Amino acid sequence: MLSPADTAQSLFSGMSHKAKMPIVSVIFLSIMAGGSIAMGDIFWAHSTVGVAKASSPGIANFIGGVAFSVGLMMVVFFGGHLFTSSLMTGVSTIDHKLTFSKMIAYWVIVWIFNFIGAAVVAYMYYRSQLPLKYDGEILHHFLVLGVGKNSLSFEAAFIRGIFCNVFVCMAVWAATGASDAAGKVLSILFIIAAFVGSGYEHVVANMFIFTEALLAKAYYLHEVGGTIQALSEHMNISVEKLEALSFTKIFPNNLLPVTLGNIVGGLFFVGVIGFMSHKTDMKK
Rounded to an integer, the average pLDDT of 208-221 is 97
Answer with the residue of higher pLDDT: 261 or 277: 261
Instruction: Give the pLDDT band (50/70/90) at residue 284.
Output: low
Q: What is the distance between the terminal CA atoms of the chain, rounded to a whole angstrom?
A: 18
* Number of neighbours of residue 100 by Cβ within 10 angstroms: 10
Residue 79 is predicted with a pLDDT of 95
Residue 283 is predicted with a pLDDT of 65
| Selection from 256, 279, 91, 280 nearest residue 169 by Cα | 91
* pTM check: above 0.75: yes
User: Each residue of 231-273: pLDDT tens digit?
Assistant: 999 999 999 999 999 999 999 999 999 999 999 999 999 999 9
Instruction: Give the pLDDT band (50/70/90) at residue 2.
Output: confident
C-alpha angle 114/115/116, rounded to 5°? 90
User: Each residue of 33-55: pLDDT tens digit?
Assistant: 999 999 999 999 999 998 988 88
Up-side HSE of residue 71: CA atoms within 13 Å toward CB?
36
Q: What is the dihedral of CA 222, 228, 233, 237, to 10 degrees?
A: 110
Q: Which domains does the chain have, with CATH numbers?
A: 4-278 (1.20.1080.10)
Q: Are 207 and 115 in contact (CB under 8 A)?
A: yes
Please state the separation of Cα 54 from the chain's center in Å. 27
Instruction: Give the pLDDT band (50/70/90) at residue 210.
Output: very high
State the Cα–Cα distance between residues 90 and 267, nearest whole angstrom: 6
Rounded to an integer, the average pLDDT of 224-232 is 92
User: Each residue of 67-112: pLDDT tens digit?
Assistant: 999 999 999 999 999 999 999 999 999 888 999 999 999 999 999 9
Residue 217 is predicted with a pLDDT of 97
